[in-house]
Amino acid sequence: MEWLKELIENFDGEIYDLCYKLTVENEHIEEVFQYVCENLLKMPEEKSIVIEKQFTEEEIEWYKSIYGDNVNGILKSTIKKCDYGIISEADFYSSLWESFCANFTSEKEKAFAFYYTLVDSKIPYQYVGKPLSMDNEKFKRILDENNESVEKIKYIFKSNYIQRTEQASLILNCLEKIDDFEARTVLLARAFGLQDEKRKSVDIDDLIKKIDRKIAELEQEEEQESD
């Protein structure tokens, strides 16, 4: 893959045109697809290999509107299959490319799927383990059974701890006292929810303050004009 390494470190052109070139010129496209997804993390600084233009910006916008949701859906589905062990981590990229080939026919469509995957924030893919899922009834039951810990976490967010490390360390102390993995997970999820609620509350307070300041400024301007 030395030739490919040199190409992605030195290409001069748009990423989608690079994806088209790689799609049409390589028999072992699955290996190329994986390598580029794992290694093209930034645009090259030294641009010495000119890539022939295949797409216009208008075309790319059109492909996004027609095929963007399909690519996103296939990517999310493949990630979920891998996370849950339906396909192996080693087969992630090959399975993803096979799905693209099954859903897109022309070289341009496949090249767009390549490009749209490459610029997605979930790429390069990282296997982080099988996630825990449960229904709302069980979630609520676990919260009720651990109400004392929930109240402590609520109190932490109400307290005057500004640093995230302060809040995180105290929440971690609460979680470490619980032996059951599912219970710890539910409490951590509740902590995330409380953090989001606090952030939204702060955002609203900031907005009200900005509105009040603007009103004060307008009133001051009116007073100056009347004088």
Q: Is the dihedral of CA 93, 96, 102, 108 positive or negative?
A: negative
- In the three-class reduction of DSSP (H, G, I as helix; E, B as strand; rest coil), residue 50 is classed as strand
Bond prior to 131 in cis (omega within 30° of 0): no
Q: How remote is the C-alpha of 218 from its chain's centroid? A: 41
**Can you read off the two tokens belonging to residue 144?**
């009720």
- Torsions phi, psi for 50 (to 5 deg): -75, 130
Tokens 């797409």 sit on residue: 55
Percent of the chain with pLDDT over 70: 87
Task: Give pLDDT tens digits along the chain (227 positions).
Answer: 899 999 999 999 999 999 999 999 998 999 999 999 999 988 888 899 999 999 999 999 999 999 999 999 999 999 999 999 999 999 999 999 999 999 999 999 999 999 999 999 999 999 998 888 899 999 999 999 999 999 999 999 888 887 889 989 999 999 999 999 999 999 999 988 887 776 665 455 565 566 667 666 666 766 666 65
- Quick: pLDDT tens for 184-212: 999 999 988 887 776 665 455 565 566 66
Strand-pair category, 11-12 with 49-50: parallel
Q: What pTM was estimated for this model as a whole? A: 0.75
Question: Residue 67: what residue type?
Answer: Y
The residue count for the chain: 227
| Residue 49: DSSP 8-state | E
3-state DSSP helix/strand/coil % of the chain, to nearest 5 = 75, 0, 25
Tokens 């810990």 sit on residue: 149
pLDDT score at 218: 65
All residues at 6 or more sequence positions from 137 whose CB lies less than 8 Å from its CB, including other chains? none
pLDDT score at 197: 75
125 within 8 A of 37, measured Cβ to Cβ: yes
The DSSP H or E segment spanning 11 is strand 11-12
pLDDT score at 10: 94
pLDDT score at 202: 47
Tokens 């192996």 sit on residue: 88
All residues at 6 or more sequence positions from 195 whose CB lies less than 8 Å from its CB, including other chains? 157
- Quick: pLDDT tens for 109-135: 999 999 999 999 999 999 998 888 899
pLDDT score at 217: 67
- In the three-class reduction of DSSP (H, G, I as helix; E, B as strand; rest coil), residue 51 is classed as coil
